[in-house]
Structure 1
Amino acid sequence: MDLVLTILGTLAEQFQKPTLSFLIAGMLLAALGSKFEVPEPVYKFIVILLLLKVGIGAGISVRDANFVQLLVPAMGATIVGIAIVFLGSRTLARWRGVSEVDGLATAGLFGAVSASTLAAGMAILDDGGIPYEGFIGALYPFMDIAALVTAIVMAKLSAARRSAAELSGAGDGALVVGGGSGHRTAKSGAIEDGLLRGILVDTFRSPAISALLIGLGLGLFAQPESVYQSFYEPLFRGLLSILMLIMGMEAWARFSELRKVAHAYIVYGILAPVVHGLIGFGVGYVAHELTGFSAGGVVLLAVMAASSSDISGPPTLRGALPEANSSAYVGTSTGIGTPVAILSIPLFIALADVLIGW
């Protein structure tokens, strides 16, 4: 009973914090039909600044971080990203009424990371005076790229197998064995290698990953502390509040798109962030036991796992899987997944408080 009361108390307290309040305010504005809007260039500018801030801060912290302390959470983040996609491939992608490519695209988006949700988690921890490792932002690409690449490769391989099966079925029914199959396997492997290389290049060139990585590089190899403290840090909370307002409005608008697709996406969008967050929390807890990873770090790893990409993921998936229904995976992510992920942050904070303590 005490555990339940602690969690409920933490939830109520966190909903009053600026980050969650602005998200709910944006949803309310959209629900009331307000004409309020933020121009798209301004939105993109805010996102880039937030990503640069997270990347530079992470790079500065990595310089002084213990290699083992960084390595274990990074490996954990990679494993979580891949595990989320495999879980989606066994659940949503096999749901009646959901095509496999749409299910995998959605799972890939949910396995990838939302920079804005991560920033929201950091802001909430900062407001509560909860410490966490400064290199947390450096874990973003590990989970993000692992999930997107896994989802895209699985979808492409599935499509290739279906095409091969259709060609085989259209033939005379003879089973080909011997050297011919080896030739096709080698050729298929070469094609898959080229596909994987192209996916990795496109992912690293995406605006979100590029901004994060250049920020990380500046923090690692330059000395940007002065501009970081005088420009990025003071602007962070104000810009984040505007971003949360925009995301709240977009989440409400996207929710209507889900009427066009199977109800399975609604169930997935509600349950997946919490389940994925708990997986991330579990992996973070293992890192805590092995390396002393902080309770705040465990919470943020859970937040990354609970989030679904709203910046790098959609354009990557649109380019790599044009046959996938963007209304399905973007609508599920932005319309349901993102608000659920952000609203679940207090749950992870309460769990960390009870199981680990500050």
Structure 2
Amino acid sequence: MDFLSLFITDFVMQLRSPTLAFLIGGMLIAALGSELVIPESICTIIVFMLLMKIGLTGGIAIRNSSLTEMVLPMIFAIMVGILVVFIARFTLAKLPKVKVVDAIATGGLFGAVSGSTMAAGLTVLEEQNIQYEAWAGALYPFMDIPALVAAIVVANIYLNKKKRKEAAYSMAQPVAAGSMAQPVAAGDYPDQKGYPSNRQEYLSQQQGDGENRVKIWPIIEESLRGSALSAMLLGLALGLFTRPESVYEGFYDPAFRGLLSILMLVMGMEAWSRIGELRKVAQWYVVYSVIAPFAHGLLAFGLGLIAHYTTGFSLGGVVILAVIAASSSDISGPPTLRAGIPSANPSAYIGASTAVGTPIAIGVCIPFFVGLAQAIGGLPPTP
């Protein structure tokens, strides 16, 4: 009973965090019809500064620590990013009215990392004076890139297999002399331009398809060039190979929380505006978006505990690993998936992530995992 009461008390008090309050405030004013608008250019600058600060923190910490401490958490981050895609492939994709490519893309977005959610998690830990490895933020790309790569590879393998099966089926069906060519079912390709209008055209397009292979490096390159990951990796490199402590302490660190509060307000308004998109797709996406952040976070939390007990990885670091696993990419992920899986419906995976997944991850999962770590022991109680 003491365990449960401690957990509930800490969980409720975490919900009063200023970071989470701005998110909820943004959703409320959007629901009330406020015309408040934060220009996109300002949001871009804010995101850049937040991720630059996280990168600088990680780079400075890595420079002053042993790389061997990072190996196991890095491996676990990679594992979680890939596993999340396969979880969506074999759960969400099996539900009624959910197209397989849409489910895979959704898994890729939920496996990738939200820089803003990670920043919110780091801020909550600092507000509660919870110790964590400063390099923990550097786990971002080790989960983000494998998730996006896995999603695009799995989706393309599925689509290629589907094409071959449809081609084989079409060749097995006789066409009566003088009859019209039969149309090909669109299946999972509703958004592709130039979809074949008849069987003959479709079959002609299949020549050489068996030789096609999904190229992984272009996917990785596209992810690395994304604005979010580029900013964080730049900060990581500067912190690791230069001495940026003066600009870090005088500019990036003091401005971090204030900028984050503005971003949380914007994300709250964005989440509310995206709710309408979920009406265009199967309602199972809403169920998935509520359950997935907890399921993915608990998977990462469990692996983090293994690192905690075997290598001394801090419980604060375990919480960060769980939080980035619970998050879903809101910056670099969508354009990467649009390019890599063009037949997937953006209303499905972006709507699920932004409208439900992100608010759940920030507003509920962060205090949930902090409270869970406090209940297990080793972290100071919420003041």
* TM-score normalised over the length of structure 2: 0.88
Maintained 8 Å contact 2:7/2:374? no
Which residues in structure 2 correspond to 1:20-35 (within 5 Å)? 20-35=20-35
Map 1:323-334 → 2, pairs under 5 A: 323-334=343-354
- The alignment status of 1:319 with 2:339, answered yes or no, reads yes
| Cα deviation, residue 29, structure 1 | 0.6
Give the partner amino acid of 1:349: V
Of 348, 351, 354 in structure 1, the residue corresponding to residue 369 of structure 2 is 348
Tell me by how many angstroms 1:171 deviates.
2.3
Which letter does structure 2 place at the counterpart of 1:354? A
Offset, 1:185: 9.8
**How far apart are the structure 2 equivalents of 1:357 and 1:204?**
36
The CA deviation string for residues 158-199 of structure 1, in whole angstroms up to 9 with x for no partner, is: 0011111122222258xxxxxxxxxx79934xx32xx21211
Give the letter aligned to residue 158 of structure 2: S
- Partner residue, 1:13: 13
Residue 177 of structure 1 corresponds to which residue in structure 2? none
Per-residue deviation, 1:72? 0.7
Kindly report which structure 2 residues correspond to 1:54-69, keeping only aligned pairs within 5 A, or say none.
54-69=54-69
Structure-2 separation of matches of 1:109 and 1:250: 17
In 2, Cα distance between equivalents of 1:78 and 1:224: 29
Q: Please state if 1:230 is matched with 2:254.
A: no
2:178 aligns to what? none
Indicate which of 322, 330, 335 corresponds to 1:302: 322
- 1:96 counterpart residue number: 96
Which letter does structure 2 place at the counterpart of 1:244? M
Which amino acid letter does the alignment assign opposite residue 116 of structure 1?
S
CA distance in 2, matches of 1:80, 1:298: 13
SS in 1 for 2:70: helix
Question: Secondary structure of the residue that 1:74 maps to in structure 2?
Answer: helix
For 2:222, give the aligned amino acid.
D
Structure 1 residue 156 corresponds to structure 2 residue 156: yes
Q: d(CA) in 2 for partners of 1:197 and 1:132?
A: 33
**Residue number in structure 1 paired with 2:197:** none
SS in 2 for 1:285: helix
**Offset of residue 323 of structure 1:** 1.3
Runs of 4+ in 1 over 6 A off after TM superposition: none
The one-letter amino acid of 1:255's match is I
- Name the aligned partner's letter for residue 265 of structure 2: L
Deviates more, 1:161-170 or 1:55-64: 161-170
SS at match of 1:344: helix
2:270 aligns to what? Answer: 250
- Give the superposition deviation at 1:3: 2.2
Q: Quick check: which one's helix share is greater?
A: 1
Q: Where do 1:96-115 residues align within 5 Å? A: 96-115=96-115
Please give the secondary structure, in 2, of the residue aligned with 1:171. Answer: helix
Which amino acid is the alignment partner of residue 102 of structure 2?
Answer: D
Matched residues, number: 345
Q: State the one-letter code of the partner of 1:187.
A: E
The letter for the 2-side match of 1:346 is P
Provide the residue aligned with 1:176 in structure 2: none
Tell me which of 211, 218, 230 is aligned to 1:187: 211
> Which runs of 5 or more structure 2 residues have no equivalent in the other structure?
174-207
Deviation at 1:214, TM superposition (A): 0.9
Deviation at 1:210, TM superposition (A): 0.9
Q: What are structure 1's unaligned runs of at least 5 residues?
A: 174-183
After superposition, give the CA deviation of every residue in 1:281-313 in whole Å (9 maximum; x if it has no partner): 001101101110001000010000100000110
Q: Is the deviation greater in 12-21 or in 229-238?
A: 12-21
TM-superposition CA deviations, 1:214-254 (whole Å, max 9, x none): 11111111111110110100110000000000001111111
Alignment of 1:140-151 (within 5 A): 140-151=140-151
Contact 2:112 2:143 in 1 (8 A): yes
Query: What's the offset of the Cα at 1:67?
Result: 1.8
Alignment deviations for residues 316-353 of structure 1 (CA, whole Å, 9 cap, x no partner): 11111121111111110010000101122111111111
Aligned AA (1:24)? I
Q: How far apart are the structure 2 equivalents of 1:320 and 1:297?
A: 32
Q: TM-score, normalised by structure 1?
A: 0.94
* 2:349 counterpart SS class: helix
Amino acid at match of 1:205: R
Alignment RMSD (CA, Å): 1.5
* Alignment check: 8 A CA contact 2:286 2:356 kept: yes
Contact 1:68 1:291 in 2 (8 A): no
Q: How far off is 1:77 after superposition?
A: 0.4
